[in-house]
C-alpha cells in the first residue's frame, strides 16, 4: 500500500492525516508535505497516524525534521496514535519524550501546553 | 542452505517487497504472529540501511537478503557490498554520532537503534565483501499444514 496524505485546518491547527506505509520509499512524500506546510506558514501541526500501517526509522526521521522546522517558528507538532505497534517504535527510540502523542485529533487540537 | 534468498536492486521501492517476503517466510517458519511485526520492521530497517549505503557509494550491485529456517530459530541476513560499513556501525555510536550531522547518517543510526531495540539476537559484521546484519528469532517447528 502506498502513502496517502490529506490536510485540513481546525482553528489555528493544521491536521495532516496520514495513511498507509511510511518507509524509505514513501517518507520523502511526507517530508515534502510537512516542509510545504511550514513554508506556507502553518506552524502548529497535528499528524494523525491512526491509518498508518507501517512506520520505520526513515519516517521517524521525517517527523523529527518536521518538529525541528515548526519549532524554529515557535510552533508545535503533535501526533495522534493509538496503535501499539506504531507506539512501540516511538518507545524504543526514546521519541515518546520528544513528541506529544495524543489519543484523538480532538485532544491534540485542544492541547496547548 | 538458505530457505529463501532474495536479491534486489538497491532502490527504496523494493524494500517493501523484502519486508513482505521476510514476513511470509517467517510465518511459515513458525515465528509467533506477535513477533512478525518486529521481523517486518527489522528487515525493513536493515534493507533501508543497505540501500542507503549502496546509493551513497554509487554501487549498482544488488542488496542480498537471506532467510534461513532452522529447527528452533528463524534467521535473516542482510548483506551490503560496502567494505567497512558493518565495522563502522559495530564500532558504535559516539564517534559517528558526533559526526553524523547529515540526515542520511542520522537515519542510518536510527535504523540500527531500532534494530537493536527490537531484536535480541543481532550481529553486525564487516568483511572484504561488505557489511552484514544477521538477526534471529525463536521459531516453533510446528508445521503449517497446507
Q: How far is A110 from chain B (nearest CA, A)?
A: 31
Q: Is residue B20 assigned to a domain?
A: yes
Q: What is the pLDDT of residue A1?
A: 65
ipTM for the predicted complex: 0.88
Q: Is residue B145 assigned to a domain?
A: no
Query: Are B45 and A56 in contact (CB < 8 Å)?
Result: yes
How many other C-beta atoms can be found within 10 angstroms of the C-beta atom of residue B24?
Answer: 13
**Regions of chain B where pLDDT drops below 50:** 92-102
For cell 510465518, name the residue. B27
Q: Is residue B47 assigned to a domain?
A: yes
| Cα nearest neighbour of A59 on chain B | B107
Q: Is residue B130 assigned to a domain?
A: yes
Mutate to test the interface with B, among A57, A85, A91 (most CBs of B within 10 A): A57
- Which tens digits make up the pLDDT trace of A24-67? 999 999 999 999 999 999 999 999 999 999 999 999 999 999 99
Q: Is residue B146 assigned to a domain?
A: no
Domains contained in chain A, CATH given = 4-110 (3.30.750.24)
Q: Is residue B68 assigned to a domain?
A: yes
Indicate which CATH number applies to the domain containing B130: 3.30.565.10
Q: CB distance from A84 to chain B under 8 Å? A: no
* Helix, strand or coil, per DSSP, at residue A61: helix
CA angle A77, A79, A82 (to 5 degrees): 170
A58 CB neighbours in chain B (<8 A) are 48, 107, 111
% residues pLDDT > 70 (chain A): 99
Tally of structural domains, chain B: 1
Q: What is the pLDDT of residue B140?
A: 81
Q: Is residue B143 assigned to a domain?
A: no
Helix B33-56 vs helix A57-71: angle between axes, to the nearest 10 degrees? Answer: 70
Query: Are B114 and A58 in contact (CB < 8 Å)?
Result: no
Q: CB distance from A65 to chain B under 8 Å? A: yes
In order of A8, A21, A77, B141, the CA distances from A44 in angstroms are 12, 24, 6, 51
Q: For chain A, how are helix, strand and coil distributed in percent, rounded to 5?
A: 40, 30, 25
Q: Is residue B53 assigned to a domain?
A: yes
Rounded distance between C-alpha atoms, residue B119 and residue B44, angstroms: 13
Mutate to test the interface with B, among A22, A23, A24 (most CBs of B within 10 A): A24
Domain span at residue B42 reads 4-138
Amino acid at each position: 500500500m502506498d502513502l496517502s496524505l490529506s490536510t485540513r485546518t481546525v482553528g489555528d491547527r493544521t491536521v495532516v492525516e496520514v495513511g498507509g506505509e511510511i518507509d524509505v520509499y514513501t517518507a520523502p512524500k511526507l517530508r515534502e508535505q510537512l516542509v510545504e506546510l511550514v513554508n506556507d506558514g502553518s506552524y502548529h501541526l497535528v499528524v494523525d497516524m491512526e491509518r498508518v500501517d507501517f512506520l520505520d526509522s526513515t519516517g521517524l526521521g521525517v517527523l523529527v525534521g518536521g518538529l525541528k522546522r515548526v519549532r524554529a517558528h515557535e510552533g508545535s507538532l503533535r501526533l495522534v496514535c493509538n496503535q501499539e505497534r506504531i507506539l512501540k517504535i516511538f518507545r524504543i527510540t526514546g521519541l515518546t519524550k520528544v513528541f506529544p502523542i495524543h489519543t484523538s485529533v480532538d485532544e491534540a487540537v485542544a492541547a496547548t501546553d | 542452505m538458505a530457505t529463501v534468498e532474495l536479491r534486489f536492486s538497491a532502490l527504496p521501492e523494493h524494500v517493501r517487497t523484502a519486508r513482505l517476503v521476510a514476513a511470509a517466510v517467517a510465518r511459515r517458519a513458525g515465528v509467533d504472529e506477535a513477533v512478525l511485526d518486529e521481523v517486518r520492521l527489522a528487515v525493513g530497517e536493515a534493507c533501508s540501511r543497505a540501500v542507503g549505503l549502496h546509493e551513497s557509494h554509487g554501487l549498482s550491485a544488488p542488496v542480498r537478503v537471506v532467510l534461513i529456517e532452522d529447527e528452533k530459530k528463524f534467521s535473516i541476513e542482510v548483506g551490503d557490498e560496502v567494505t567497512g560499513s558493518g565495522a563502522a556501525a559495530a564500532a558504535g555510536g559516539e564517534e559517528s554520532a558526533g559526526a553524523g550531522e547529515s540526515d542520511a547518517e542520522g537515519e542510518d543510526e536510527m535504523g540500527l537503534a531500532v534494530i537493536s531495540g527490537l531484536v535480541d539476537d543481532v550481529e553486525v559484521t564487516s568483511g572484504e565483501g561488505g557489511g552484514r546484519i544477521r538477526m534471529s528469532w525463536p521459531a516453533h517447528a510446528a508445521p503449517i499444514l497446507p
